[in-house]
Amino acid sequence: MVDLCGVQLRGPVLNGSGTYDPIAARRTFGDELLERFPFDCFVSKTITLAPRQGNPPPRLWETPAGLINSIGLPNKGLEGFLAEDLPKLAELPAPLCVSVMGFDHEELRRLVTEVGAREEVALIELNFSCPNVETGLIMGADPSETASAVSALRPLTTKPLIVKLTPNATDPAAVAKAAEGAGADGLSLINTLKGMALHPRTRQPWLGGTTGGVSGPAVRAVALEQVHSVSRAVRIPTIGMGGIASGRDAADFLSAGATCIAVGTESFRDPTAGARIAAELELVSRKEREFSSGGVR
Ligand code: RRO
């Protein structure tokens, strides 16, 4: 078992928010999905107070060893999520973490109050790091903005609050410390790195949202460094992610200081990647234990 902010998980493997849709997967695979659910805790796609259409297409661009997305937070809004999605997500065989994003403190207050009041919800992730909203505002790029938001939200729920950090900050460890000081229970990192691609013929931006967020193995070394420096700067647990595609990658993030890891872009290529990575991680950990105890090499 793994303790994540007081919530007991079967293991350390989560999904990155927005990279796995278990409602669609259940429509395709039926109840088999529940028997072989690939994650030890499920993190929802980020929701906002009002429904959103998201960014115009195209929304994806493949890079060498990575992906740029400019999805733009399409979602049903708080009411639609609570009425339609939450009952289905509550049937998953893993604790539920709901990811929320607000455009100001008042929106965040309503999201955290209403989501935090639902017993189906084990944890709340505060997404302060979406790179793809039209305001360009990334609350989590600034330590004092982050502290001010977390302080306003902390009294509104007893559920653990996890702050999702952006890699697009001058000093992610300073933001992490600010979040911890204001009462955050955990941190997740990294969100995507800002990037863009041009249409090969017109030379205009390819993505409908002009810029996007880069993920996948291309960002893994950057993510590993940030998980390492942030985990050293705080006492609260961190969830490490960024291009994890194998058990060896997962073991690296745990060694760098993460309590849990999350699989994101790899699940687009292989929806069962979470289960494979968990199994590989078990093998890697067992081999490392045998090695350090002088056993089989
Ligand atoms: O929806 C998105 O475009 C998006 C979000 Br909310 C996020 O947090 N990170 C990202 O790469 N894309």
Of 115, 142, 117, 120, which Cα lies nearest the Cα of 46?
Answer: 115
| Ligand 1 atom with least separation from CA of 54 | 1
What is the C-alpha separation between 38 and 52, in angstroms, rounded? 28
Q: Tell me, letter by letter, the H, E, C secondary structure of 154-192.
A: HHHCCCCEEEECCCCCCCHHHHHHHHHHCCCCEEEECCC
Q: Provide the pairing of β-strand 123-127 with 193-195.
A: unpaired
The CA 287 to ligand 1 mean position distance, Å, reads: 36
- The pTM score is 0.96
| Contact of 237 with 226, CB cutoff 8 Å | no
Mutate-to-test residue for ligand 1 from 20, 53, 73, highest number of ligand atoms within 8 A of CB = 73
| Contact of 241 with 259, CB cutoff 8 Å | no
What is the C-alpha separation between 237 and 231, in angstroms, rounded? 7
What is the C-alpha separation between 20 and 18, in angstroms, rounded? 6
Give me the pLDDT at residue 136, please: 58
Q: Which whole-number Å values give the CA distances from 117 to 3, 87, 93, 152, 184, in the listed order?
A: 22, 14, 20, 17, 18
Q: What is the pLDDT along the chain (297 residues), one digit of tens a residue?
A: 999 999 999 999 999 999 999 999 999 999 999 999 999 999 999 999 999 999 999 999 999 999 999 999 999 999 999 999 999 999 999 999 999 999 999 999 999 999 999 999 999 999 999 877 766 567 889 999 999 999 999 999 999 999 999 999 999 999 999 999 999 999 999 999 999 999 999 999 999 999 999 999 999 999 999 999 999 999 999 999 999 999 999 999 999 999 999 999 999 999 999 999 999 999 999 998 898 876 555
Give me the pLDDT at residue 134, please: 66
Give me the pLDDT at residue 295, please: 57
The CA 226 to ligand 1 mean position distance, Å, reads: 19
130 is catalytic: yes
